[in-house]
Amino acid sequence: MRRASSNYGLIIAENKFIGISLGYDHCAEHEWGIKDLKRICGMPEASKDNMGVKNRSITIVPTIVFKESTKKKKKFAVLYTGYKYQSKEDTEKYVPYDLKDYEDSLIWNEKWNLEHPSREAKDNIITAWSSSDFGVAVMGEKEVGYLKELHEAILNLNLTIAVTSMRNPFGGSSLCLLITDRIPQEVSDMMYSADKEFYDREDYEDKIGMKDIIKKYGNNNGYNKKNYFCACSPKWINYEDAVAREEEKKRHNTKFDIIYWINYSDDDSNYGYYSVEEIKEWLTGKKKLTEIRKG
C-alpha cells in the first residue's frame, strides 16, 4: 500500500461519522483499481441486478488488525488489512511500511498545524492503500473512537468500499470506506445512478456496434502504429437532458449520443474527445486520427 497525500480524511455528515476517505497520491498503486481487494472482501461482481450499494459491500471479513496505543499522553489507533491472503499472525507482526511511524508522523502533523495557522490544517489521520490492501492511523480520543467503529463495522460485514470523494461524493477521485447503514440516501442514490449510467452506456455501445469495432480494429499494430491508443473511453453527451443533448450533438457534429475520449493515439501525444463517426473512420480506414479531424 502507498500513503495518500490528497483528499483523505474523516467523512462526517450531520455530526455523524460515516467513514473515511483514503484519498490518493499520483502513484501506480492508486491507479490499478481494487480488483484484489474486492476479491479478498467478497464484493460481488457488478451487474444490472446489484447496482448501487449492493456491489460495493463486503461479504467476507478480510484479515484485519486494530491496535490502540498511547505516546506522549496522546491516544493513537491503527487499522490495516493483510496483503492479499497473508495470515492474521503475520499481519499482526508488522505495521505496513507506509504506516510504520504513524505515531511520530501524526505528532509532527499537529506541530505543523500550530506553526502554520493560516495554512490548511492536516487531519489527525494518515491513510494508505493499494489494489489489495488498506490502512488508517489516527490520533486523538474522538478519532480513535471513530476508527474503532469502522473496525466493528468491518467485523459485522457492515462496510461499503467505493470510489468517491470526501467533499464531492462520487467525484471519482479516491477510495472510501463507508459504514453501510450510515450512508446517506442521496449518496446511495448517486451510486445507483452511476451504475445505471454505465450499463446504459454499455448497451448503447453494443447497439451501435462500437464495441465490436473497437475490439476488432483497435490496438492491433502496437505502440505509435495505426489504430494505437492508450484509452478509448465512451462518454455520454449530456446523459440526463435529452434536449440539451441534441444541441451538444450538433456542436460535436455527430448523430450519436456518445463521444470517445482518446488518450495517446497513433499520433503519439494526441488526445481529446472524438465523435463516433471519427472513431469509426479511423479504426476501419487508412488515415490517422488527427488526419481525419483536420479533414
pLDDT exceeding 70 applies to what percent of the chain? Answer: 87
State residue 219's pLDDT score. 76
The residue-averaged pLDDT of 224-231 equals 76
User: Taking residues 126-151, what's their average pLDDT?
Assistant: 95
In a domain, 190, yes or no: no
Give me the pLDDT at residue 24, please: 82
pLDDT over 90, % of the chain: 57
Q: What is the pLDDT of residue 254?
A: 97
Q: What is the pLDDT of residue 29?
A: 52
The span from the CA of 227 to the CA of 217, in Å, is 7
CA angle centred on 84, ends 80 and 88, rounded to 5°: 55
| 279: nearest Cα among 236, 290, 33 | 290
**198 inside domain:** no
Closest residue by Cα to residue 276 from 246, 251, 256: 256
Residue 91: pLDDT band (50, 70, 90) is: confident
pLDDT at 175: 87
Nearest alpha carbon to residue 41 among 144, 154, 125: 154
The residue out of 150, 184, 218 marking a domain boundary is 184
- 134 or 112: whose pLDDT is higher? 134
* pLDDT given for residue 84 in this prediction: 62
Query: For residue range 153-185, what is the model confidence (pLDDT) as tens digits?
Result: 999 999 999 876 544 444 445 789 999 999 999
Number of domains the chain contains:
2
- Mean model confidence pLDDT for the chain: 86
Compute CA 274 distance to the chain's CA centroid, rounded to the nearest angstrom: 25
Written as nine digits, the cell of 250 is 450538433
With respect to residue 168, please indicate whether it lies within any of the assigned structural domains.
Answer: yes
Residues 31 and 70 in one domain: yes
Angle between helices 276-284 and 210-217 (to 10 degrees): 30
What is the pLDDT at residue 264? 72
Which residue range forms the structural domain that includes residue 163?
2-184
User: In angstroms, what CA-CA distances link 167 with 67, 114, 183?
Assistant: 28, 24, 14
Which are the contacts of 100, defined by CB distance < 8 A and separation ≥ 6?
none
Question: Measured at the alpha carbon of residue 277, what is the angle toward residues 267 and 208, in degrees to the nearest 5?
Answer: 125
Nearest to 42 by CA among 151, 149, 127, 154: 154
Residue 201 counted as domain residue:
no
Q: Is residue 11 part of a domain?
A: yes
CA angle 186, 192, 194 (to 5 degrees): 100
Residues 76 and 132 in one domain: yes
Residues 178 and 214 in one domain: no
Q: Residue 225 domain-assigned?
A: yes
Contact 173, 33 (CB under 8 A): no
- Regarding whether 50 and 168 lie in a shared domain, the answer is yes
94/29 same-domain check: yes
45 with 171, same domain: the answer is yes
Q: Are residues 226 and 132 in the same domain?
A: no
Highest-confidence segment of 5-19, 33-47, 103-117, 142-156: 142-156
Lowest mean per-residue pLDDT among 75-84, 110-119, 169-178, 211-220: 169-178
Mark which of 149, 184, 219 sits at the end of a domain: 184
Helix (H, G, I), strand (E, B) or coil at 206: helix
What is the C-alpha to C-alpha distance for residues 237 and 159, in angstroms, rounded to an integer?
Answer: 34
Structural domain includes residue 22: yes
Given this model, what pLDDT does residue 110 score? 87
Asked whether residue 4 carries a pLDDT value surpassing 70, the answer given is yes
| 23 & 73 share domain | yes
DSSP string, 157-202: T-EEEEEE-SSSTT-SSEEEEEEGGGS-HHHHHHHHHHHHHHHHHH
Determine the average pLDDT of the residues in 236-243.
93
Q: Are residues 266 and 138 in the same domain?
A: no
Q: Would you say residue 223 has pLDDT above 80?
A: no
| CB-CB neighbours of 83 under 10 Å | 16
Specify the pLDDT at position 213: 94
pLDDT band, residue 122 (cuts 50/70/90): low
Same domain, 100 and 50: yes
How many Å apart are CA 183 and CA 156, to the nearest integer?
16
Together in a domain, 277 and 167: no
Q: What is the pLDDT of residue 30?
A: 47
What confidence tier does 131 reach under pLDDT thresholds 50, 70, 90?
A: confident
Burial category of 106 from C-beta neighbours within 10 Å (exposed 0-12, middle 13-18, buried 19 and up):
buried
State whether 167 and 85 are in the same domain.
yes
Lowest mean pLDDT among 40-44, 98-102, 220-224, 251-255: 220-224
**Residues paired with 259 in a beta bridge:** 235, 275
Q: Is residue 202 part of a domain?
A: no
